[in-house]
Structure 1
Amino acid sequence: MADQHESIDLTSPPVDSSAAAGFNWFPAPPPPMYSCTLTPELVHKAREELQEKPEWRLRDVQALRDMILKEQPNLRTRLDDAFLLRFLRARKFDYDRAMQLLLNYHAGRKAWPEVFQDLKPSTVKHVLDLGFLTVLPQPDPAGDTSSVYAQVLHLYCRKWKPNDYPFVDNVRALYLTLEKLIQPEETQVNGIVILADYTGVGMSQASNPGPFLAKKVVSILQDGFPIRIKAVNIINEPRIFKGIFAIIKPFLKEKMAERYVLHGSDLRSLHKNVPCSVLPEEYGGSAGQLDLCSWSRVLLGCEEEFIVEFCQPDPLEGVVLPDSMLFEGEARGQDDDSFRGLRSQLYYCY
């Protein structure tokens, strides 16, 4: 087994954590050699929710590593403990499901070159600077809230207009954000919560992505990325959102569809789902004003890290994937037909 390991790079790429160091609300990435950074409270949470047993953790990682080396020896993927733990935690330490998730993770990159080719923060600086998405800072006090509540990804949907740049650039920025968010172990255990503000979203924004693009985005988030999405909170949604959700819902698994919560303009409803301590003043919270620039600085400061991670040869070259692989041959014509029907629904709601 040692000889096999020598033929594959098992170490994490060097990470410059200085960019995130200036934002004490975002933890630095773990070191290349695995050392558990979870608090006792999160260790307990991982045991209860993810079936993660600290005494078996490295044994489970080795089991997944052995599966990869045996079943996909040509797969150029990271095999270090910290990386593989992401997939085990996302699939509650089920080896087979974690293996499938890892393959989906790499297959998504191959199937969607518009998103993953030359993927680095500088190529989506216009999206980040615009404030289409940001990550809300966790509360800094010594209270327990900051360690047990999920990280909140905020989407300010009206910031994007179809004439400004292609929607796929938003997907690129979103993926980079998820890659950065999943590095700390606490996010792997707590997951993330999405807060999407649809204030001022009109027909042009709602109808632009379409089912074909929506299906790919949902496929990546549900089946191709090792992160737990605990809830999707929609705030200030217009009537047209019924049509938007009609595009998305057919591709959602039942459990994920149930995690969508529509609040309208009711902040009290939002506060029942997201603690006020993590919400900015704009949403009746106590975390100060909404800062749309800090996350941009975090990602742009990690340019070299993402070059190492994404701007490399295709990891699937020479790999034979199972027939049930994610993203295999979507029926584009069928999607176009369904889009025409859904577009009429959008106009009706609008």
Structure 2
Amino acid sequence: MSGDGDGSTRSPSTGSLSGIEVLPEQPKYVCSLSPELVAKAREELQEKPEWRLRDVQALRDMVCKDYPNLGTCLEDAFLLRFLRARKFDYDRALQLLVNYHCCRRSWPEVFTNLKPSAIKPVLESGFVTVLSHLDAEGRHVVCIRPDRWTPSNYPITENIRAIYLTLEKLIQSEETQVNGIVILADYKGVSLSKASHFGPFIAKKVIGILQDGFPIRIKAVNIINEPRIFKGIFAIIKPFLKEKIANRFFLHGSDLSSLHHNLPPEILPEEYGGTAGKLDISTWNELLLASEDDFLYDFSHLAISSDCSPHDPLMSGEIDEKQCDDSLRSLKTQLYSCY
């Protein structure tokens, strides 16, 4: 992976511009994309190399003018992530950046002390990992296995922290910023007791982050071995999904041939009918744990000010309690009907 030193983890300095903390000397951005990916970014993301730094400066100016107390990193490479995630639409990129910080400050259980060493038990369980091989589109495959989680060992928020850190590490790569990622979620063995931990509040917060609060392109979500109770889980998730994202969910059941239409066997481990050997979690764990310095700066200690006011209620945590209660009752009914 490239781009590990792109500045996303440096803390703001004491210098200021229009009241916002900035780095006095920003490292010069050097593009690491291949000619093929430069062409892809131009076609799919409206990224023009000759205008790239001008666009970054425009976003930086908007942050300084409209959100002077946001306390964000303003380095070229960091801001570029948000422009790419919103196809160089300045306004949408700015809102994504604001949402990104508001998410981190409004959910302390997840974002306080957010660093790899703090979620080592989750990594060692194999709950989340990244497969060793890219797919045909050059995308990393994030593998999530809820059956590896034992609720009595730690709360579900620790799993969310591990997924978030995995995405933070992946998005440091410019290739990932352009290509996006694919998710492979194996729901084998997910019981009623485990499903009950993923209620409407958690669902709404997580989906809000992935859709509107993080600069990553999720190109597909492949669900396999989903039990009947997954209908109840998905009933909670779907109302919060945008149509574009909802259309990228693929439910394969236990049909590995169906999975292989989306993810070829040569990139999959043996556990999923692939030819890439046994599923290995150690390589990704070692890479992430060795990246501790990338996550030293913690934005969560910054108070949410009037400058940090996301437009989407999913981001602000304003959740309709009646809607949550109704959804939870519906989920319980569906779950128990499966037994």
TM-score (norm 2): 0.89
User: What residue number does 1:129 align with?
Assistant: 124
Alignment of 1:121-270 (within 5 A): 121-138=116-133, 148-270=137-259
Counterpart of 1:264, as a letter, is G
- Structure 2 matches for 1:42-53, cutoff 5 A? 42-53=37-48
Tell me, yes or no, if the aligned pair for 1:86 and 1:226 is still in contact at 8 Å.
yes
Q: Which residue of 2 aligns with 1:92?
A: 87
User: Does 2:111 correspond to 1:110?
Assistant: no
2:61 to 57, 66, 72: 66
1:322-346 CA distance string (max 9 Å, x none): 6656324212343123202211111
Decide whether aligned partners of structure 1 residues 3 and 327 sit closer, same or farther in structure 2, where only a CA change above 3 A counts.
closer
Distance 1:293 1:12, change over 3 A: farther
Query: In 2, Cα distance between the equivalents of 1:46 and 1:187?
Result: 11
CA 3–343 in structure 1, closer or farther in 2 if over 3 Å, else same: closer
Cα distance between partner residues in 1 of 2:300 and 2:105:
12
Deviates most, 281-290 or 53-62: 281-290
Instruction: Specify the alignment match of 1:80 in structure 2.
Output: 75
Give distance in 2, aligned partners of 1:327 and 1:7: 22
1:29-60 CA-partner distances (Å, limit 9, x unpaired): xxx43111111111111111111111111111
Tell me if structure 2 keeps the 8 A contact 1:153–1:193.
yes
The CA distance in 2 between the partners of 1:183 and 1:208, in whole Å, is 31
Q: Distance in 2 between matches of 1:96 and 1:130?
A: 40
Task: Give the CA RMSD over aligned residues.
Answer: 2.3
CA distance in 1, matches of 2:281, 2:237: 26
Q: 1:314 aligns with which of 302, 305, 309?
A: 302
Q: Given the alignment, which residue of 275, 284, 288 partners 2:273?
A: 284
Give 2:34's aligned residue: 39
Residue of structure 2 in register with 1:22 after alignment: none
Query: 1:324 and 1:281, CA in 2 relative to 1: closer, same or farther beyond 3 A?
Result: closer
Residue 37 to residue 289, structure 1, CA distance change in 2 (3 Å): same
4+ residue stretches of structure 1 with deviation over 4 A? 315-318, 322-325
Paired residue secondary structure (1:108): helix
* C-alpha separation in 2, matches of 1:267 and 1:89: 33
AA at the equivalent of 2:177: Q
Structure 1: which 5+ residue stretches go unaligned? 14-31, 140-144
Percent of aligned pairs sharing the same letter: 62
The structure-2 alpha-carbon separation of the partners of 1:40 and 1:123, relative to structure 1 and needing over 3 Å to count, comes to: same
Instruction: Measure, in 2, the Cα distance between the counterparts of 1:322 and 1:194.
Output: 26
Please tell me whether the aligned partners of residues 310 and 316 of structure 2 are also in contact (alpha carbons under 8 angstroms): no
C-alpha spacing 1:85/1:134, structure 2 compared with 1 (3 Å): same
